Amino acid sequence: MLPFLQKAAYLILFTTVCSIQANAQVVDKIVAKVDNHIILKSELEIAYLQFLRSPEAQLLPDKSAIKCRVLESLIINKMMLAKAAMDSVTVEREQVNGELDRRMNYFISQFGSVEKLEKYYDKTIDQLKQDLYAQIRDQLIIQKMQQQITSAVKITPGEVEKFYKTIPKDSLPYFSSSVEVGQIVRYAEINRTDKLQYRKKAEEIRQRILSGEDFCRLAKNYSDDPVSAKNCGEIGFFKKGELVTEYESVALRLKPGETSEVIESQFGFHIMQLIERRGNEFNTRHILIRPSTSGKDLVYPAQILDSVRQLISIDSISFSRAVKNYSADKATLYSGGMFTDQQTGSSQIQMEDMDPDVFMIIDTMQVGQITAPILYKTADGDDAVRIIYLKSKTPAHQANLKDDYQKIQNAALDQKKQTAIDKWFDKTKNQVYIDIDNEYKDCQILINQ
């Protein structure tokens, strides 16, 4: 969890992506300088608008100075970068590339395909990665600095209750009805004869690698994973438990540089090499042979999901474990199958923000219920089948400790962390050059708290 009000500053690190989607038109200018780092008015406005939409903003007792606090958060972030340079605080290039790949996969899942993403921004994946690389590197450095400053900060139930009582009763936010909804997805599958043909293709490529052909060139020419293919098949570092079981179990047995047998998962057939293992993290590259969508049917996938649904209903397997083992939906795979709010990352989604098709399904469901397999088309137009799980449903209500304890606890902890960062800021700000535009002098950011 980022410190209080740092979420706004965190979001600005994706200006390359987010600014295109922002509705507000801002005449840009420099509003602050911190050593060699600058803050643009557009950055401030985007961060401000993003933060206003967060639950934390709704729980603020005093909303009058939000923009000043967001600007201060941006300045503190830039100061962390400046101080990190002084103190030689860095992050590994592999860590940046791994995070970059994850974010790019997320964007692709939101747009539906690489082609749609590239068309929307009129840039290739490689160009988007180049645009985002420095931003993500800086974000990781800021997170590292924040962790150093706030590592000792904890929150007690008493402090949470005290924070809640500081919010005037007439200022308590009114939360609309929200739900937690998950899904397990399977795509249409080809028949056994056609599947053997795709496996044979993967086996032939594996033999070419074993015969000495370059893995990188083969990945670029043959892999059906467009993101990793452009990076010689490399997918970046992942921790144990973050990838599908079939792939991960093999990766954990390989030696660096060793080529796997052909691995079958719900995504297709993989030829994998382990690049590096570091603690409980590992970096691999793969070539994916994905069967084409023509000639597929949904009978077998629906049967699998119906069996999975029965296993979950008798508590033989948890929903999250079933997602990891059986779901082919990348967008929800790493959130335990749960849909998440794009702005906050929370699994609690307001009903009005729910996908209309999903909304119609869950509207009459009981909490804890899982649907029978339902046919649908993905954003890419592929035929698929899914089961939908309604984990929780919270009616519209005014914020209270019983229903919203987690949100209130997060806001209280964020505020306490922000206090620690403010103290660090006051102690450190004289070590770097800071200049703020006259338009924001009334914010009194450089005055000791």
Q: What is the CATH number of the domain that holds 51?
A: 1.10.4030
Mark whether 321 and 432 lie in a shared domain: no
Contact by Cβ (8 Å): 101, 230: no
Tokens of 154: 């904890």
Residue 252 belongs to some domain of the structure = yes
In order along its 449 residues, the chain shows pLDDT tens digits of 334 344 433 333 444 444 434 444 445 899 999 998 999 999 898 888 888 877 667 666 566 678 888 998 899 999 999 999 999 999 988 888 888 887 887 787 677 778 888 888 888 888 888 889 999 999 999 999 999 999 999 999 999 999 999 988 888 888 889 999 999 999 887 777 778 889 999 999 999 999 999 999 999 999 999 889 989 999 988 888 788 889 999 999 999 999 999 999 878 899 999 999 988 889 999 999 987 755 568 888 999 999 999 999 999 999 999 998 999 887 788 789 999 876 667 788 888 888 889 999 998 999 999 999 999 988 767 789 999 999 999 899 999 998 888 889 988 998 899 899 989 988 988 888 999 999 888 888 876 54
Tokens of 23: 């509705």
Mark whether 162 and 107 lie in a shared domain: yes
d(CA 114, CA 106): 11
Domain of 374 in residue numbering reads as 175-189+295-397
Residue 449 belongs to some domain of the structure = no
d(CA 312, CA 321): 10
Mark whether 225 and 335 lie in a shared domain: no
Mark whether 99 and 163 lie in a shared domain: yes
Contact by Cβ (8 Å): 63, 57: yes
Contact by Cβ (8 Å): 435, 446: no
Domain boundary among the residues 255, 289, 323 is at 289
Mark whether 38 and 54 lie in a shared domain: yes
Mark whether 281 and 372 lie in a shared domain: no
Tokens of 85: 């340079």
Mark whether 243 and 102 lie in a shared domain: no
Residue 301 belongs to some domain of the structure = yes
d(CA 12, CA 38): 13
Residue 448 belongs to some domain of the structure = no
d(CA 242, CA 244): 7
CATH number at residue 329: 3.10.50.40
Tokens of 43: 């950055």
Structural domain total, the chain: 3
Mark whether 54 and 155 lie in a shared domain: yes
Residue 299 belongs to some domain of the structure = yes
Mark whether 356 and 391 lie in a shared domain: yes
Mark whether 56 and 156 lie in a shared domain: yes
Residue 1 belongs to some domain of the structure = no
d(CA 438, CA 157): 42
| Element containing residue 323 per DSSP (H, E) | helix 319-326
Residue 430 belongs to some domain of the structure = yes
Mark whether 125 and 257 lie in a shared domain: no
Domain boundary among the residues 289, 321, 348 is at 289
Mark whether 345 and 390 lie in a shared domain: yes
Contact by Cβ (8 Å): 177, 440: no
Residue 263 belongs to some domain of the structure = yes
